[in-house]
Amino acid sequence: MSEPLLRVEGLEAGYGEVQVLWGISLAAERGRLTTIVGANGVGKTTTLRAIAGSLRPWGGRVLFKGEDVTRLAPHAKTARGLVLVPEGRQLFHTMTVEENLQMGAYTGRAARDYAARLEHIYALFVRLKERRFQRAGTLSGGEQQMLAIARGLMADPELVIIDELSLGLAPIVVHELFAKLESLKSEGLTIVLVEQNVHLAFSLSDYAYVIAEGRLFTEGPPAQLESRPEIRRAYLGL
Amino acid sequence: MLRRPFFWIIALTIAVFAAAPRGADVELRESLLLAAVYITLASNLNLMLGYAGYVNFGSIVFFGLGGYFCVYFMGTLGWGLAPSLVASGAAVTAAALVFGLGILRLRGVHFALATIGVNEAVMAFVTNFQPWGGSTGIYLSTELFQPLGGPGPALWIIYYLLVAIMGVSLYLSYFIKRSKFGLGLLSIGQNEDAAAVLGVPTPRYKALAYSASALLPAVAGGLYFFKGAFIQPADAFDLTLSTEAIVITMLGGQGTIVGPALGAYLYEELRGWLLTSETFANFQLVVAGVLLLVIVQFAPDGLMGFFYRRWPRLRRIFE
Amino acid sequence: MSALLEVADLSKRFGGLQAVASLNFTVGEGEILGLIGPNGAGKSTVFNLINGVFAPNSGRVAFRGADITGAAPYRVARLGLARTHQIVQPFAGMTVLDNCTVGACFGRENLPLARAREAAHEAAALVGLEKRLEAPALELTIAGKKRLELARALAARPALLMLDEVLAGLNPTEVAHMIEILRTIRGRGVSILMIEHLMQAIMSLSDRIVVLNSGKKLSEGAPAQVAHDPAVVEAYLGDPGMVQRRPQ
């Protein structure tokens, strides 16, 4: 197996004086969907934010395509092909769908082939094309999530990190989104996903990391993990 | 208590104030009298500002009201000095309790603005209140100095009384600070909600501190305006005086007892210099304002705060 | 066991959000009760409703037999109910000893200043801060500040101690130390109601667990029982129905 696209070693981070991550190590292989699961407040979002650079890590390393990008600002990582789709989507609500997508293509890397990429995105997310001039704030939950992912894709990433895909969405919408992710994966995109629903995460990912209390609890291919009582212990302590 | 050096430091200060003007010229006494007034105002203001963390911009209202009550009792009702002072103190403290009911629910900026509102409201009332002379004010006849032995001796008596009031203010600050009540006030100043969760009866304590901070300034006001034999709303409720009291307290060090005294002395020196300087005579208040901004930004602990940080052992002697 | 704290049919709404809905539970004498639930389940709101920071829309809170529903926080503290906060709130400008003295002065026993200082001393020693009594509170580390918050609440000699995520942000050594302290406190007869996200810790400490989800009580019972309750497992791990089996 070649060098993973993303490698995280001993990541430590926190907010103010409070340390949340106590040394997280994980890796995302090219072309795979890797998922991170764990209870609320254990540090899943903190991990993603520390990787993407919106939160400064206190210690450890983040390696992307072999390069140490630990201390780089988020826009520098985006320019290298590492994109975060944040929790709660964080769309520009008063802008249209297309304007949001334009904002996603801000970096120089993304500006190349902008028109072609936009068409490609619209082909994949037909619903967004139908609503291209609609204000983002007026879209449904599922459409907003779609837009958030699409906007991330406009930056021409090699790795997309998605924080909480299924939050507040109906199962059928979630499955539609996952279908899109599958087809993106088949085009060579690497995906790291944080997902609240363990069952969903396991059924759709190639590899999983379970986090508890700011540390790695266990890891492995979902088929191996699903049945183990450890998963319940990671969430409930017993 | 008597074994603590600070108790005697206050006593010494009072003694110095009492002894210094004897044999010297009247100017020194007048200067020290003004200092004593400033120290009284600043020390009592400190109970709310430095201890409980509530900024009272309109604290002058106690001083002015005390002056009015006293002048009224003596001039119109013909009472003697002592009963007038006592009654003024009581009346203004009662008034403070009433004001407090209205404004102590507010916090931070809102409280500060409300205290200004209280002062302005009282001033507006008095300006239109004929029994108190309305906007013209009240003149006292110099005959009122006769029971004290005539104008000369009267001024000395007034001076000693003001020094006594200053002394009581300093001791009051001191005893409160070392008491359970003072600890409660200080915790309110640090974090009012956390203090309440710990059981500090915050509404009652704030009302007590606010009323306590009214009593001695009221008596001082009575003495001050009796001495001048004249009171009018513009002088009695002049917001610049309470602003200056805040500058003094913060300059010297809020929450400490030495702070207001030190600040008063320094401020009076500064003011004296500014008033006689050609460039700054008209800018005296501007300087005060700028000074306040600088202190709040860069040295919110004031001079005593700086000294205590530099020489922590000072804390054992001073407060 | 007589009920020290009784929460009956407690409800609270914030605008359109029902934060707590008809909640019922009790805390007995000498008991450690753990309150758990996914993020946003309403746990801190429950604490705020009990100690008077908010008044409930309906329902009742009784402490040591007295109705304290909606009573002001300082009155509740006087009755012997102490509380720590998720985000610590030390009196930053005061020393460790003075912080604890405030707790001792205004708590259940309403001690005079001298006796309060002694009680403060004891409380600080219990959490291991006896060597830092003269230190200004703001100089302590996060672990120190958490211990100070605990000592300050203890100094009031409460009958019930409510702890809001007292273990958050501590490293494993500090967590273990704090757990020992909590066991000692319970050994002295203080009952504890605690909110905690560190699941292993709270499951091992608590005598009983109440699980909250979306403001409602989801489950209640011994830790082992609750951890295996399918409703609780689903609340934490997610709805298995989300998965449609697809051909691999």
A-contacting residues of C 71-110, CB under 8 Å? none
Q: Is B76 on the interface with C (CB under 8 A)?
A: no
Q: What is the pLDDT of residues B142-190, one digit of tens each?
A: 888 988 888 888 999 999 999 999 999 999 999 999 999 999 999 999 9
Q: Measuring CA to CA, which residue among C79, C46, C67 is closest to residue C157?
A: C79
Q: Are strands C216-221 and A6-15 parallel, antiparallel or unpaired?
A: unpaired
Nearest-by-Cβ selection for C107 from B187, B195, B199: B199
d(CA A164, CA A90): 12
d(CA C29, CA C49): 20
What is each CA distance from C92 to B53, B189, B194, in whole angstroms? 13, 10, 11
| Chain B partners within 8 Å of C83 (Cβ) | 197
d(CA A165, CA A175): 10
Mean pLDDT of chain A: 89
Residue C201: closest C-alpha in chain A: A237
What pTM was computed for the model? Answer: 0.85
Q: What is the pLDDT of residues C143-202, one digit of tens each?
A: 999 999 999 999 999 999 999 999 988 888 999 999 999 999 999 999 999 999 889 899
Q: What angle do CA A185, A191, A195 make, to 5 degrees?
A: 120
| Chain C partners within 8 Å of A236 (Cβ) | 199, 203, 226-227, 232-233, 236
B197 contacts C51? CB cut-off 8 A:
yes
Q: Measuring CA to CA, which residue among A91, A153, A95, A93 is closest to residue A122?
A: A153
Q: Is A116 on the interface with C (CB under 8 A)?
A: no
Q: Which chains are within 8 Å of B by 3+ CB pairs?
A: C
Nearest-by-Cβ selection for C101 from B183, B195, B196: B183
Number of CB pairs, chain B paired with chain C, less than 8 A apart: 72
Q: Which chains are within 8 Å of C by 3+ CB pairs?
A: A, B
Q: Measuring CA to CA, which residue among B287, B288, B306, B297 is closest to residue B38?
A: B288
C72 contacts B196? CB cut-off 8 A:
yes
Nearest-by-Cβ selection for C236 from A20, A200, A236: A236
Burial of C133 (0-12, 13-18, 19+ CB in 10 A): middle
Nearest-by-Cβ selection for A199 from C38, C198, C237: C237
Query: Can you list the residues of chain C whose pLDDT is less than 50?
Result: 1, 246-248
Query: Can you list the residues of chain B whose pLDDT is less than 70?
Result: 1, 280-282
Q: What is the pLDDT of residues A136-185, one digit of tens each?
A: 989 988 889 989 999 999 988 999 999 988 877 888 888 888 888 888 88
C237 contacts A197? CB cut-off 8 A:
yes
Q: Which two tokens stand for residue B148?
A: 């004290």
d(CA B15, CA B179): 25
Q: Measuring CA to CA, which residue among A82, A87, A115 is closest to residue A101?
A: A115
Q: What is the pLDDT of residues A6-52, one digit of tens each?
A: 999 999 999 888 888 999 999 999 999 999 998 877 788 899 999 99
* B-A interface (Cβ pairs under 8 Å ≥ 3): no
A203 contacts C246? CB cut-off 8 A:
yes
User: ipTM of the assembly?
Assistant: 0.89
Q: What is the DSSP string of C145-184?
A: HHHHHHHHHHTT--SEEEEESTTTT--HHHHHHHHHHHHH
